[in-house]
Chains A and B, each alone.
Chain A
Amino acid sequence: MRVTIGRRTAVAAALAAVGAAALTAAFTPAWAHGPTRQKVRESIEINADPAKVWAAIGNFQDMSWLPPVTKTEGEKGNEIGATRRLTLTGGATVDEELYKFDGAGMTYSYRITAVDVKALPVTNYSSTLTVAPSADGKGSTLEWAGAFYRGFPNNDPPPELSDEAAVKAVKGLYQAGLESLKKKIESGS
């Protein structure tokens, strides 16, 4: 009986010790992430030719079409591995890298390499923009799809860095961005 109790205590102590070690080890900013990747997929119909929509978003070095972006600075144009730094209203920055680009297919994918979770509560974020002819053939459909983990990389996140907070932030950003772009293109500006 005493043996059993002793062993149990030892296991419990070992569990507690590794738990404590993990708390410090888990905060490796760029790589650590929660257990569940989230997805957001938003799209909008735009009353314009796909080529025209593509012309508005197809330059990786210009994200001025997204409302909170005040400045885009980057290197290597639309080449795979091209980088850009977005400056947002208020001064926060987001660093991104292009990893897929298909001009003929009117689609590209990029990932965030550095962002403060206070600006956007996500980690390991990647996203894809795609322009396609709309179902009725008269205009375009612009789709924005994202894949990311919540801002808090460890267990039991605070509410502002939870899975739900991450999805809400990205969904809001995509909807605002798509609406803004639709207005801009359809008004001809």
Chain B
Amino acid sequence: MRALVLAALAASIAHASAEEAFVTNQLSDDLMVVDLATARAVATIPIGGKPAGVAVSADGRFAYVTSPDAKAVTVVDAATRKVSGRIEVGGGPLGIAVAPDGKTVYVADWYAAAVRVIDAATRSVTASVAVGASPSGLAVTPDGRWLLSADRDDDSLSVVDTATRERKASIKVGTRPFGVTIDADGKRAYTANVGSNDVSVIDLAAGSEIGRVPVGMRPYAVALAQGRGFVTDQYGGTVSVFDLATLKPVKRITVGDYPEGIAATADGKRIIVANWESNTLHIIDATELKVIGEVKTGDGPRAFGAFLRRTE
């Protein structure tokens, strides 16, 4: 009996420990690694330059971190927790995304209407793509064909062909879109609209907005799991939950103050939220829709981007 319980415990830990959070603590200038199974910080890596955006490659090898004040991207070896490179990109690097094959990294320049294209192998900027004003969140479709850029001050979403590195379309969304998230099928995208306090639902094949979901005040980013959308409401101090099929609000979960970065674990069972003001990471059960864990972070966690890493 006892052996059985132990085995079950070990199994559940082993299962859940397959993922880590890479959290940018902007005000303490570092990147912390949190083991999600034990809800413990396991490493803190100094970055500098007020790190904000983060993107972990799909193979889990690297975490790419933007530092707007240093005008650079730091490459972190995710397994050894060591800085393995630094790429000078200029401007104000903020949003960041890695192509599914890991070969290309895209960085939004907050001050210029442009996305810089980085070759992951040579770690250098190889091209620049013109997009709308104040590009913020970036995301790449699962097939790697399209890059989406939430152009905050143009109230639109740019669709960039990753082969030609040219903008193919600009889709009107709500006011001041910040984070953008693409679903697993690559069919829909969701933008969190800071200015209109809602989420735009975009049909990528049609190239148009097909719905708008009211959420809490000053939404930051969107995560998807269990047929639902989860949205961090910065001023609301909540995570707004809505149904992806009906686009109707389901619930608002109270989290810490100024929740920002949000992501779903690969199994869809947990939602991880960085609370910028409270200096905490909250773990939400995506089915029960309640907070089940809390981890202390450094100062000002933002975790803007795909900040979770699968370790097996």
Interface residues of A (CB under 8 A from B): 11, 14-15, 18-19, 21-22, 25-26, 28, 31-32, 35-39, 99-100, 109, 111, 126, 128, 145, 147, 154-155
A-B contact pairs, 14 of them (CB 8 A): A11-B128, A15-B90, A15-B128, A18-B130, A22-B109, A31-B152, A31-B176, A32-B134, A36-B26, A36-B300, A39-B276, A111-B235, A147-B277, A155-B111
What residue in chain B is nearest A15 (Cβ atoms)? Answer: B128
B195 & A31 in contact (Cβ 8 Å cutoff): yes
* Per-residue contact bits, chain B 92-124, to A (CB 8 Å; 1 contact, 0 not): 101000000000000001111110000000000
B112 & A32 in contact (Cβ 8 Å cutoff): no
What residue in chain A is nearest B279 (Cβ atoms)? Answer: A39
Number of interface residues of B (CB under 8 A): 36
What residue in chain A is nearest B116 (Cβ atoms)? Answer: A15
Residues of A near B217 (CB, < 8 A) are 99
A180 to chain B, nearest CB (A): 25
CA distance A27 to B68 in the complex (A): 18
B92 & A155 in contact (Cβ 8 Å cutoff): yes
Among A15, A28, A38, A99, which residue has the most Cβ atoms of chain B within 10 A? A15
B285 part of interface (Cβ distance < 8 Å): no
Instruction: Answer whether A126 and B113 are a contact pair too, CB < 8 Å, given A36-B27, A39-B27, A39-B300.
Output: no
B258 part of interface (Cβ distance < 8 Å): yes
Instruction: Answer whether A145 and B52 are a contact pair too, CB < 8 Å, given A14-B128, A126-B235.
Output: no
Residues of A near B52 (CB, < 8 A) are 35-36
B167 to chain A, nearest CB (A): 12
Residues of B near A99 (CB, < 8 A) are 217, 235
A36 & B112 in contact (Cβ 8 Å cutoff): no
A35 & B133 in contact (Cβ 8 Å cutoff): no
B153 & A31 in contact (Cβ 8 Å cutoff): yes
A35 & B94 in contact (Cβ 8 Å cutoff): yes
* Per-residue contact bits, chain B 299-312, to A (CB 8 Å; 1 contact, 0 not): 11000000000000
B267 to chain A, nearest CB (A): 32
B114 & A18 in contact (Cβ 8 Å cutoff): yes
Residues of B near A155 (CB, < 8 A) are 71, 91-92, 111
A42 to chain B, nearest CB (A): 14
CA distance A154 to B112 in the complex (A): 10
CA distance A100 to B110 in the complex (A): 30
The 8 closest A-B pairs by CB, nearest first: A35-B68, A22-B112, A18-B112, A18-B114, A36-B50, A22-B111, A25-B133, A155-B111
B127 part of interface (Cβ distance < 8 Å): yes
A36 & B69 in contact (Cβ 8 Å cutoff): yes
A39 & B128 in contact (Cβ 8 Å cutoff): no
Residues of A near B68 (CB, < 8 A) are 35-36
Instruction: Answer whether A11 and B127 are a contact pair too, CB < 8 Å, given A35-B52, A36-B69, A147-B277.
Output: yes
Question: 20 more A-B contacts (CB under 8 A) besides A14-B128, A18-B112, A36-B68?
Answer: A11-B127, A14-B130, A15-B128, A18-B109, A18-B130, A22-B112, A22-B113, A25-B113, A25-B153, A26-B134, A31-B176, A35-B68, A35-B69, A36-B27, A36-B300, A39-B277, A99-B217, A99-B235, A145-B277, A155-B71
Residues of B near A147 (CB, < 8 A) are 258, 276-277
A128 to chain B, nearest CB (A): 8
Q: Which B residues between 248 and 267 are near A, CB-CB below 8 angstroms?
A: 257-258
Residues of B near A31 (CB, < 8 A) are 152-153, 176, 195
Residues of B near A26 (CB, < 8 A) are 111, 134
